[in-house]
A and B are shown apart, each in its own frame.
Chain A
């Protein structure tokens, strides 16, 4: 079954760190760039990170650059999001998503996980 399953969300205090995981199955994970996209409660979608199929290239919007780090382990079919110095406006559902391109990114997403909620609050 082709799917992405996120984990690692929860309640965290401002300034602390959290690591999210996304386990892929049912497709050749090492061929695809992967993304994280977030959605604040009741709000729209915001792309926050991409990693190339082999992990050699990464990119982020300025809003998270320096605080969020994406990584992957192709031997475990898993992509991660390390979140440091968390702030209240990082509160959101975090979705892991697969890029539609194979071995290059197209910047849009054809497979999504169910999401994991991160709440930043004291």
Chain B
């Protein structure tokens, strides 16, 4: 199975900060990388697919980049509603697998 490693596992940041989360795949997945946001008690929400394509309705402060094995999610200016846990997922090969998540907390 493809292993997905996210770092850091948590980050403390302030409103307005730039936040970057990384995701590394155990094998080349091309650009088959997806990012989700999950708030406590809620279902995940699709943010970005194909490594860098923003899902409809997602604010432009979110961006994704990378290909092959190394990927990043960047929040350019953190907003109060962005405090959540973020997961990467590879959609290259079944079984589709997720990273363990990165919790973005208030500093």
Contacts and interface: CB of A to CB of B under 8 A. Distances in A.
B43 A45 contact: no
A108 B101 contact: no
Interface residues of A, number: 21
Interface stretch (B10-18, B20-28, B64-72, B92-100): B92-100
Interface of B, secondary structure class, is loop
Contacts of B87: 44-45
Given A107-B91, A110-B55, A44 B44 contact: no
Interface string A43-78: 011110010000000011110000000000000000
B60 to A, nearest CB: 18
Interface residues of B, number: 23
A100 B49 contact: yes
Interface in B38-72: 42-46, 49, 55
Interface string A14-54: 00000000000000000000000100000011110010000
Given A44-B99, A44-B101, A59-B94, 13 more contacts: A37-B44, A45-B89, A46-B98, A47-B98, A61-B1, A95-B44, A106-B49, A108-B34, A108-B46, A108-B49, A108-B89, A109-B36, A112-B45
